[in-house]
Structure 1
Amino acid sequence: MNSFERVSITKLTVGSYVEKVTKQLGDVRVVQTGWVRNKKAIKDLQQKGVIEVLVDPYRTLKEQQSKQAPIIEKTPKTKHHHFSDEFPHAQALYEQLEQAMLNLEERVLSFQPINIGQLAQLGEHVNESITRQPSTLLCIANICSVPNSIIGHSIRVAILAMICAKQLKRPSDEVQALFMTGLLHDLGKYKLAEQLQRQDHLLNPYLKVQRHKYCQYTQHILNSSGGACELTLSLCQQQLEREDGSGYPEQLNSAQLSAAQKILTICDTFDSLHFGFEGEKPFSSPAVFKYLLKHAPSLFSDVLIKKIIHSISVYPPGSLVQLKSGKVGYVKCFKENNLSLPVVHCFYNSKSKHYTQTHDIIVAKEFSDDLIESNIFAHDFNINLTQHL
């Protein structure tokens, strides 16, 4: 009698013989069996909600595995879109992301496995949108997401981390892993008591230790759902590690941390401080970058902070700003991707305290009245930004 092995979908390899699907999500049962001929077959199973399969180790096509041709990454030629051209695609994509995360939240709270494959598929579409227009999706997410919610925070961190990784020309698998980690890294917080859902510095030492257990809970949720790629699992585990070795759980130092982990830490911290996540007081984006640099290189990589600033600007897309003239609007994008030329969509005047006719201004140094004076918050002026997208 054959000795079958249960294998997580993320551990399934090309050449394996699938005898049976043993664990999956959704109402449609997947009954595909046979040899896994290529990586696309694994991806298709994952996107259908397959979490675990039964394989016959004695029927593995070892020759096919050894003859796999090396994959050479090619940068696809993608037509660059203007903000308005990409907007309908990005808006629909954001709504899909939000709904997927709502479904994920419901499943985690009811102790059911989640569909990681669905999120990975959405990640590919997000990557394509960002390639076409780097600012549009981030602008929509920063304006439309709920500031103090796990879902809003997770979506913003995922998109921001992907943009930063792409701008820093990180490998494509790392870009995708950072996006997935952004969406998944806080899943364990759904298992925490309400009093623990606050930033570390707001808790006493005992509660701080209890709060850190969410990283273990996240790992358990992912493993029970078929797992994720090795880098995503590693990043979720190491998300609280810091440059000086003072982090959790292994006190890894800068030399032991990957560039991906350092990017995630910066993006996660930036979003928490800027949007007032988990009890934080919201800070302007320049103030957050100042905080990050102040605590570098002890906690954060100063080199990467500066590179990220040069990638997304001190005022990232979606930032509500006030110009020296008194005009108020949000940063839509940057003309020709030049960060020194932000395009601000204006609709309000802080001096007259009246709404104005909407118009876009390309902020340039030669027009001193229209320089950005400060980052402001919508609640200060009782503004609903979603009405002005």
Structure 2
Amino acid sequence: MFVAEVTEQTGRFSVKSGGFVRSQKSINNLLAKGVSKVLVDLDKSEHEKEPEVAPVSTAVPVEKVRPKTSFKDEIGKAKKLYNQAKTLQRQALKNMKAGRPIDTGGMKEVADGFIDSIFRNQDALACMTRMRQKDDYLMEHSINVSIIMTIFAKHLQIDEKTIHDLATGALLHDLGKINIPDEVLHKPGRLTDDEMVIMRSHVTLGYDILRESSDLSPTILEVVRDHHERLDGSGYPNGKNENELSQFAKMISICDTYDAITASRVYQNARTPIMAFKILRKESGTGFDANLVAEFINCMGVHPVGTLIQTKSNKLGIVIKSNFVNPLCPVVKVFYSLANKGYIPSKTIDLGAPGVEDEIAQSVKPEDYGIDINRIMTEILD
């Protein structure tokens, strides 16, 4: 295999120009120098010609090479991936409702696609999570949580095999809701105590069916089972406390809650990402892990990609790229003048660039200005 660079080590060994690793002896030398992970260029590798060499993955984990792409180049791929995921999710809900097997293999392929896209340019799929159809909440919610979970896990530098399990688990986590009666699932008002018991049963309904699948890992099933558990034991279905919950369970609870808060549902209008962050912070230490909440906000950005914002120059725009050096100054695409109360030719502005004096005044809700955010995003992102 052709080693491009060392990505994880305990020493100071470096690969200056890249080169082939052709023998177990070479692998052992890398290990002896403290190298634990390398980046391999599969296009240049010749490992298929030397079957007698032990697979490198048994000694040094191999990371997939994914060239970085621009938002413009990735958004088309992201749209296609998202639509494929919706088709698969729709079929999975129908199958569960009818008692038929779920295509878990297809779910894993979708997770693979999400991971590839997010490692190339995470902003594209992040933007797709903001393009919602109110009547498709159940289907889109799991897709969005899977995307957000993948971005979060990447930020935490979790290994890719585990990220794949986390993304797959998130795709499957709410399938049990399809077996909740519509009058409870779509009730516009507050649920009664009895209705709440029925609603909460969706976790067990989904988990019990999915755990019969032989190809779902313990991590995938854990994400499904524990996504409504809370640190103080107030969650469900098992009332687990902080010491009984893994990092992955704590992560899925944050991602699931964030997407639910920022979505419009029959009984609740969507709230801004900033409001969602405030709620997560308020419940940190009791419901959510405080350190993970802080990392999640850092990962998503103060103004997450896809957020509708108002600038100090009185224009409306959409955040299309985060700025992790200066989170208050992302890249935005403005399209509407509040002063003239009309649309303007869309323009990309890097608020962190030298000489740019405009800035974000606040996050806003599309409905407050009569903005069809899905139509606008489709037009300006094409």
Superposition TM-score, scaled by structure 1 size: 0.76
| Residue in structure 2 matched with residue 373 of structure 1 by the alignment | 361
For 1:45-124, what aligned pairs fall within 5 Å after superposition?
70=58, 72-124=60-112
Aligned counterpart in structure 2 of residue 162 of structure 1, from 150, 157, 167 = 150
The offset of 1:254, in angstroms, is 1.2
Overall identity of the aligned pairs, in %: 27
How big is each residue's C-alpha offset from its partner over 1:88-137, in whole Å with a ceiling of 9 and x where there is no partner?
22121112111111222222232211101011012112111100101111
What secondary structure is seen at the aligned counterpart in 2 of 1:202? Answer: coil
| Residue in structure 1 matched with residue 333 of structure 2 by the alignment | 345
Q: How far, CA to CA, are the matches of 1:202 and 1:327 in structure 2?
A: 37
Mapped contact 1:324–1:369 kept (Cα < 8 A): no
Opposite residue 334 of structure 2, the aligned amino acid is C
Q: How far, CA to CA, are the matches of 1:137 and 1:317 in structure 2?
A: 9
| Residue in structure 2 matched with residue 256 of structure 1 by the alignment | 244
Opposite residue 283 of structure 2, the aligned amino acid is H
Q: How far, CA to CA, are the matches of 1:73 and 1:141 in structure 2?
A: 31
91-100 vs 295-304, which moves further: 91-100
What secondary structure is seen at the aligned counterpart in 1 of 2:284? Answer: coil
Mapped contact 2:189–2:267 kept (Cα < 8 A): no
Mapped contact 2:351–2:357 kept (Cα < 8 A): no
| Residue in structure 1 matched with residue 165 of structure 2 by the alignment | 177
| Residue in structure 2 matched with residue 354 of structure 1 by the alignment | 342
Q: Comparing both chains, which one has the higher relative contact order based on Cα–Cα distances under 8 Å and sequence gaps of 6 or more?
A: 1
For 1:1-389, what aligned pairs fall within 5 Å after superposition?
70=58, 72-144=60-132, 146=134, 149-197=137-185, 202-223=190-211, 226=214, 228-277=216-265, 279-334=267-322, 339-364=327-352, 370-385=358-373, 386-389=378-381
What secondary structure is seen at the aligned counterpart in 1 of 2:316? Answer: strand
| Residue in structure 1 matched with residue 37 of structure 2 by the alignment | none
In the alignment of these two chains, the number of paired residues is: 323
The offset of 1:232, in angstroms, is 1.1
Mapped contact 1:135–1:332 kept (Cα < 8 A): yes
Mapped contact 1:345–1:359 kept (Cα < 8 A): yes
Structure 1 gap segments, 5+ residues each: 1-66
83-92 vs 194-203, which moves further: 194-203
Opposite residue 262 of structure 1, the aligned amino acid is K
| Residue in structure 1 matched with residue 21 of structure 2 by the alignment | none
Mapped contact 1:146–1:152 kept (Cα < 8 A): no
What secondary structure is seen at the aligned counterpart in 2 of 1:370? Answer: coil
Superposition TM-score, scaled by structure 2 size: 0.78
CA RMSD of aligned residues (A): 2.6
Q: How has the CA–CA distance of structure 1 residues 255 and 127 changed in structure 2, closer, same or farther, with 3 Å as cutoff?
A: same
Q: How far, CA to CA, are the matches of 1:310 and 1:209 in structure 2?
A: 35
The offset of 1:287, in angstroms, is 1.0
Q: How far, CA to CA, are the matches of 1:68 and 1:219 in structure 2?
A: 36
Q: How far, CA to CA, are the matches of 2:244 and 2:175 in structure 1?
A: 25
